[in-house]
Amino acid sequence: MKHRSRFSSILGLVALVVLVVTGCTDDPVAPTPTPDAPNSSSYTAEYKDGVVVIDSASTDRALISVDSTKRNVVFRTGDAALANIAVGKPLLIWRTAMGTVKSVTPSGGEIRVVLEKATLPTIYKNASISYDNLVKWEGATKPILVDAKGMEHVMTQVGPDSFNVEIEWGDFVYKVDWKMAGDNANVTINVEKKVLQGLRARYTLAGTIEKFRTKSTIEITNGTTTQYSVENSNVAGDVKLSLSVIGSGNDAVNFEFPVTLIKIPVNVGPLVVVVNVRVQVVINAVVPPDGSSLIEATFKYKSGTGFKFSQGNILGLGGAGEHKEEKIKAQTGASTPIGVNFGIGFPRLEFKLFDADVLVPWMQTALLVGGDFTTGVHPCQMMKTQFIGAAGVDMQMLGITLKRNTTLWTMEKVHLKTGDCK
């Protein structure tokens, strides 16, 4: 009886499990995605005496062309709003340009105006300016690569929303594949070094970057900037960082790759803030002829970057948030010491007013992998990852002499440590 009772209990448990498993035959219902908040902006301003403002209607009627790089603006004559433009006066043209007038040259039915750089407090006595925008990749502008000589390299379109480009820079060949997939962007960045006609080093980032929100606030009171903030939320990605090197020699590269992958214009009142998405590559490697290293790590993160200026101080905003590193590979060795470090700052965000004057030189999440192997009395092999948030602050366009770099967070993990590591 005892055995039969136990067997009956087991049968009852099995029947209960079967009932639970077979009784829920409906497919699970996917959660309803939360709709994105609409873009918003706010603009109230009191201009300083003598500032000339060309409103949207006059800009539409009179503007012929603008060259933001050279600060040249050409109007057609005849619009009454142009009569007040004069050398030495600050000028604000609706969503086109801003500066102090350097020269005015009439020619036929046109007027050519050349501007000099002017800060925001040159234009505003009092102002409250803010925006909150969603950055999505769908419909973004076609990527253009500009090298240090000022030459443009248009990325080749290989699909409806896909682009790639290849450029040689020093001993390296840089390749970028970029696909704008609506809310997300799929990106692959390869950095390759060839030695003696053979591939000896390859550094790669590959994965997905999600949409994110960017918001900013500027407060100017009595001609002085009292507050400025920029904050990017949901800066999220799922990317693999990898390196493969064989006897590639010594390299020390800290290179802001000269490519603006995407330009996102944000309109707020008569102003346009352009968000440029860029890349920074950092390589520091010492690989002897018989040395090799294979390192991989997948980074998954949902973070926030930003800073706030208030009462003369800089405060970091955002944080590392949810993050993890997984799928680790670490193989490094040689008969003499070897060390390899590879990092990418991406997305590296630059904020410019009218795409001409820098508001924020850079703000980025950075992913790094590294490995080293030492011989001798204390042989040791190590592999580390780092996840970093950082920003460059330059308050010049806001009329304040303050320029610095600030670290928002640094997260380091040791994934491999073998041997006599001191």
Residues 4-33: what's their mean pLDDT? 39
Its pTM stands at 0.86
Task: Give the residue from 363, 349, 364, 351 showing the smallest Cα distance to 398.
Answer: 351
CATH 2.40.240 occupies which residues in the chain? 44-118
- Residue 165 is predicted with a pLDDT of 82
Pairwise pLDDT comparison (113 vs 264), residue with the higher score:
113
| Rg of the chain over all Cα atoms, to the nearest angstrom | 28
- Residue 15 is predicted with a pLDDT of 36
Task: Give the residue from 231, 235, 212, 391 showing the smallest Cα distance to 299.
Answer: 235
Whole-number Å distance between alpha carbons of 292 and 384: 17
pLDDT, tens digit, 9 for 90 and up, residues 390-421: 999 999 999 999 999 999 999 999 999 998 88
pLDDT above 90 for 110: yes
Looking at every residue in the chain, the average pLDDT score rounds to 86
pLDDT, tens digit, 9 for 90 and up, residues 326-344: 999 998 888 889 999 999 9
pLDDT band at 19 (very low <50, low <70, confident <90, very high): very low
List, in order, residues 6 or more apart from 211 with CB less than 8 Å away: 36, 134, 135, 136, 137, 183, 184, 234
Residues 81-106: what's their mean pLDDT? 97
pLDDT band at 62 (very low <50, low <70, confident <90, very high): very high
Which CATH number fits the domain 44-118, given the four candidates 2.40.240, 1.10.1660, 1.20.120, 3.40.50? Answer: 2.40.240
Residue with tokens 């690569």: 145
Give the least confident one: 70-79, 80-89, 377-386.
377-386
Torsion-angle region of 65 (φ positive above 0: left; ψ -120 to 50: alpha; else: beta): beta
pLDDT, tens digit, 9 for 90 and up, residues 349-387: 999 999 999 999 999 999 999 999 888 788 899 999 999
